[in-house]
Amino acid sequence: MKLSLVLIIYRSKSSIAEESSIFCANLLKKRNIKSHIIASDFKQTQLKKYFCNLESLPEVVIVLGGDGTVLKSANALVHFDIPLLSFNIGGNLGFLTQEKNFLYDQSFIDILEKEEFKIDFRKRLHCIVYNQKNENKKILKTFDALNDFYFKSVE
């Protein structure tokens, strides 16, 4: 994979993840690979502004945080066909993330460039919440998820 542009998303309000994003950007810069860093608060204006100003999409998105940051990133980037490479930064356990040592030993760049990886395609779930009174059915809200939904009673 020829890397020319990488988007780095880090867990907001985490100094370790923010420092790791700068470390990652510096690694990429040494290899003449451009990168952009975004905190994971995912304000739609921030992402829209980022993608509107691009001439081409990044080849990969590197996510630094835990499973929550990966899930937020996947939801925010659902309409773009960009693979995510995630690293567990600052957390204890991550089912959707790589170990942070993989980031710090810098081997991930070689693996990406040599295409020595397998992309794990995941199914997305779509949920529609209806309010049904008599014969009328009204959509209240829709949700998309990468791994699961849970329902909580409001009564």
Enzyme catalytic residues: 67
10 Å CB burial of residue 33 (0-12, 13-18, 19+) is: buried
E runs forming strands in the chain: 5-10, 34-39, 60-65, 84-88, 125-133, 136-145
Cβ 52 vs Cβ 36: under 8 Å: no
Chain position carrying tokens 């950007």: 25
How far the first Cα of the chain sits from its last, in Å, is 52
